[in-house]
Homo-oligomer: A and B are copies of this chain.
């Protein structure tokens, strides 16, 4: 399973692609950080992030996109901006016809370190170990995007479905509200769209064989 993990942010948006085989072995395909300068107006910044996400989807053809939950109880202004980035990321996955999952930060930390309260250094260390990298990916946004991808491949939960599923959770005493799964029809549609997209993008030489 190939997963694109996204750590949403307007200044730095982590983008990591991971392959995970049925025995849960994970390998890194790509990692990068989409950046946008504060010299640009907000809509040009979001456009840059959108372009970067489209580019990574087009180049690495993930089967599913996973993103980290944004919490609404944090600083209102930065949350609003991050929520806009999340909208851009969701729309990018939707336009590519891919299923999309949301994971909370504590799910991500717990999946890769075994501790839902792990700090950034622990996450970076474990991501490097899981992926067999010489050193931890930097900056933290890059490592986080890989952690989100690994988390999704290992847990397999959090897929967005129809009706009533929310892409925001309000955390109260550790209880989290965002969950969902694709309905069978949704799943079929998503798979058909993804297949069509892959077919459209396939190397012509491969078609002859």
Contacts and interface: CB of A to CB of B under 8 A. Distances in A.
| Interface of A (DSSP majority class) | helix
| Best-buried of A43, A45, A65 by chain B (most CB within 10 Å) | A43
A87 B94 contact: no
B95 A50 contact: yes
A203 interface: no
A159 B79 CA distance: 21
Nearest to A160: B41
Contacts of A93: 43, 47
Count chain B CB atoms within 10 A of each CB in A50, A90, A99, A170 and give the residue with the most: A90
Interface residues of A, number: 50
Given A162-B40, A168-B76, A168-B77, A45 B84 contact: no
Nearest to A79: B72
A43 B161 contact: no
